[in-house]
Amino acid sequence: MGFLKYALRKLGLMVVTLAIIASATFFLVNAVPGNPIAARTLRMPETVKAELYAKYGFDKPLWPRYVITMRGLLRGDFGMSAVYEGDTVPNIIASKLPVSARLGLQQMLVGVTLGILLGVVSALKNGRAADFAIIALAAFAVSIPQLVFSLLLQKFFAGAKTGLPIIGWSGFKSTILPTIAGAFVYTSFYARLMKSSILDVIGQEYIMTAESKGISGFRVVTRHVLRNAFVPIITYLPMTVAMCVTGSFFVESVFTIPGLGYYYVKSVQQRDLSMVMGLTVFIAALLLAVVFVTDILYKLVDPRIRLERAGKR
Amino acid sequence: MAWRILRRNPVAMAALGLIALFLIMAVLGPRLRGIDGGVINVKAKNAPPSRELWFGADDMGRDLFSNLWLGLRVSLTVAVVCGAAQIVLGSLIGGLMGYLGGIVDVVIMRVIEIISSVPGLLITMIVMMILGNGVLSLLLAISITSWCGTARQIRGQIMQLRETEYILAAETLGAGAWRTITRHLIPNTAGIIIVNLTSSIPQYIFMESGLSFVGLGLQPPNISLGTLIASGQVHMDFAPHQLLFPCAALCLIVLAFNLLGDGLRNALDPRLRR
């Protein structure tokens, strides 16, 4: 019962937060000087101009527009793109999301898995050459901006030699370089995180208890150390997804991948206000949802919290 | 104390030296070779590195060596200004939250939570849209979200410190608010501030070059590492030096700040010191 109440409270808070973010975005976006259709309507007759202004709602004052926009958001109506004629914002998001989602998932799958593996090796070989090499490599990799790494991959590994396309998004081959470009950030981040998490757990008393009971080293590691070391890792899930969103702006721009990040940048460049508004709200909602799921997962996974609940019964 | 530990760390000292070198070059570099980076020289179009043009020339024959340091100047300006904004705003707001508590604390905390739930890059891009492209609007747009993390940590630290016995002791011995703040609270939060700063400076530098790369930060004819890298990408097949030199500069400066940050963290955190 307590758990359900907790979840509902979090959900309510999330909706309020999203409403505030949407409002703030609306007013920020409307503070942008000029509007995206001004250039287009410059040489049109007055009546057509007025009609076009009415179509995008630029004929109304700020507050009524705010009410219309917020009402629209509630119904899932994000409005029309001012640049891509005749396309609604949800349509554009729906067509670009699968691209970004696939790229992001591939990056996380490769990057996080490799990072966790390296972190485990480094923690178990703590202080030895393997550990030193991994940690030095991770520290070095953190310093290479994703942008530079993407460009270097593109320069040296794309083209005729490897058969990997330089830009674009068609087929598995074109996803390889962008995936590596995004994955290495997670690898270095998770390798360090996993190592410190494991070292924390190894220092705990229950590990000594397990060892003194005569459990083999391998079993102690798999049954006790790793299970507990994974708990704090979960809290970094929202950060990982946020990193993925931020990274996608640059990786997608370098490789010209038609995903959400690339179109966000384009919309900002073209002052496509309704697109910027819609994409920002969408990304914010996505991240809030991840935070929510993480909170719930954390409650479910942490053995200490579970024990507490069992004890009460 | 922390300085003495840091001085014995060769990696951190090398990083500090590199940062100092970059600072000097950002000031002197553009004038060092006597070639004006803005001058278009048709004969030197896409020229590879040579004895005359150390880092080669760009697609309009402009000296890359001079322009690289001009670009670095922007990166370091962003690092200094946004770092300063982060510290000043962060400790002021965080200190206020921790010291006053109550409704002020609750309201600002909610604001911070809301700002932090949107990637800073998005907010920066929207603010850039409002302010237009330029160094000043770039600095403002990056600074606008910079204070949140610091404020939250300072708040936590001050709340924790106010519960400690030595603050209680100082107050019972008659120390006023001013003395408590200057002698106890500020020295005890300095560590957090410095560690915070060294971990966010690389992010600011990266953000600037990334935004300029996609055309949302500085735009040509303004020069930053981002715009240099963007034009380098166009010519990377036949004039790779145009891409590699700015990329190397960006990596080195970020690496230097990261290594210095690691060193400072070790020097300042008593738990890591053994």
The pLDDT of residue B274 is 42
Question: Is pLDDT larger for residue A132 or for residue A52?
Answer: A132
The pLDDT of residue A310 is 46
Confidence of residue A305 (pLDDT cuts 50, 70, 90): low
The pLDDT of residue B178 is 77
Cα nearest neighbour of B246 on chain A: A148
Does A155 contact B at CB distance below 8 Å? Answer: yes
Q: CA B216 from chain center: how many Å?
A: 18
Q: How far apart are CA B211 and CA B140, in angstroms?
A: 14
Residues of A in contact with B209 (CB under 8 A): 145, 147
Average pLDDT of the residues in B229-252: 83
User: Is the separation of the CB atoms in A72 and A79 below 8 Å?
Assistant: yes
Given an 8 Å threshold on Cβ–Cβ distance, is B122 in contact with A264? yes
Asked whether residue B85 carries a pLDDT value surpassing 90, the answer given is yes
The pLDDT of residue A110 is 92
Buried b (16+ CB within 10 A) or exposed e, B150-172: bbbbbbebbeebbeeeebeebee
Query: pLDDT of B139-153, one tens digit each?
Result: 999 998 888 888 988
Mean pLDDT lowest for which of A308-312, B63-67, B131-135? Answer: A308-312
Average pLDDT of the residues in A147-155: 86
Asked whether residue B203 carries a pLDDT value surpassing 70, the answer given is yes
Confidence of residue A95 (pLDDT cuts 50, 70, 90): confident
The pLDDT of residue B81 is 93
* Window 50-109 of A, Cβ < 8 Å to B: none
Q: What value, to the nearest 5°, has the Cα angle with vertex A149 and ends A130 and B200?
A: 85
The pLDDT of residue B236 is 77
Query: pLDDT of A7-41, one tens digit each?
Result: 888 899 889 999 999 999 988 888 887 777 776 67
Mutation target among B22, B113, B126, B131 for the A interface, most CBs of A within 10 A: B126
Confidence of residue A304 (pLDDT cuts 50, 70, 90): low
Asked whether residue A112 carries a pLDDT value surpassing 80, the answer given is yes
Confidence of residue B193 (pLDDT cuts 50, 70, 90): confident
B131: helix, coil or strand?
A: helix
Mutation target among A154, A244, A268 for the B interface, most CBs of B within 10 A: A268
Question: Is pLDDT larger for residue A75 or for residue A258?
Answer: A258
Domain ranges for chain B: 2-37+52-272
Question: Is pLDDT larger for residue A240 or for residue B139?
Answer: B139
Mean model confidence pLDDT for chain A: 82
Does A39 contact B at CB distance below 8 Å? Answer: no
Q: What value, to the nearest 5°, has the Cα angle with vertex B161 and ends B159 and B164?
A: 120
Q: How far apart are CA B49 and CA B63, in angstroms?
A: 10
Supply the DSSP string of B133-196, one letter for each residue: SSHHHHHHHHHHHHHHHHHHHHHHHHHHHHHSHHHHHHHHTT--HHHIIIIIIHHHHHHHHHHH
The pLDDT of residue A145 is 83
Average pLDDT of the residues in B77-82: 92
Reading the block at residue B124, the tokens are 């920066």
Closest partner residue to A268 (CB to CB) among B125, B209, B262 is B125
Residues of B in contact with A271 (CB under 8 A): 129
Q: What value, to the nearest 5°, has the Cα angle with vertex B165 and ends B5 and B102?
A: 105
Domain B2-37+52-272 has CATH 1.10.10.10: no
Query: pLDDT of A187-224, one tens digit each?
Result: 988 888 888 888 888 877 777 787 788 777 777 777 77
B57: helix, coil or strand?
A: strand
Does A297 contact B at CB distance below 8 Å? Answer: no
Given an 8 Å threshold on Cβ–Cβ distance, is B236 in contact with A151? yes
Given an 8 Å threshold on Cβ–Cβ distance, is B202 in contact with A17? no
Does B210 contact A at CB distance below 8 Å? Answer: yes
Closest partner residue to B117 (CB to CB) among A147, A148, A284 is A284
User: Is the separation of the CB atoms in B195 and B87 below 8 Å?
Assistant: no
Average pLDDT of the residues in A119-145: 84
Average pLDDT of the residues in B156-177: 81
The pLDDT of residue B107 is 92
Does B127 contact A at CB distance below 8 Å? Answer: yes
In chain A, % of residues over pLDDT 70:
94
The pLDDT of residue A1 is 52
Cα nearest neighbour of A32 on chain B: B130
Asked whether residue B157 carries a pLDDT value surpassing 50, the answer given is yes
Cα nearest neighbour of A255 on chain B: B233
Does A170 contact B at CB distance below 8 Å? Answer: no
Question: Is pLDDT larger for residue A300 or for residue A267?
Answer: A267
Buried b (16+ CB within 10 A) or exposed e, A89-100: beebbeebeebb
Mean model confidence pLDDT for chain B: 83
Q: How far apart are CA B53 and CA B75, in angstroms?
A: 23
Question: Is pLDDT larger for residue B256 or for residue A203?
Answer: B256
The pLDDT of residue A312 is 43
Does A144 contact B at CB distance below 8 Å? Answer: yes
Asked whether residue A48 carries a pLDDT value surpassing 60, the answer given is yes
Query: pLDDT of B6-55, one tens digit each?
Result: 777 888 888 888 898 888 888 887 777 666 766 777 776 767 777 777 77
Does B111 contact A at CB distance below 8 Å? Answer: no
Cα nearest neighbour of B215 on chain A: A269
Average pLDDT of the residues in A50-70: 77
The pLDDT of residue A309 is 47
The pLDDT of residue B44 is 66
Q: Looking only at Cα atoms, what is the longest distance across chain A?
A: 88
Residues of B in contact with A152 (CB under 8 A): 247
Average pLDDT of the residues in B122-150: 89
Domains of chain A: 18-75 (no CATH), 89-312 (1.10.3720.10)
Asked whether residue B247 carries a pLDDT value surpassing 70, the answer given is yes
Does A199 contact B at CB distance below 8 Å? Answer: no
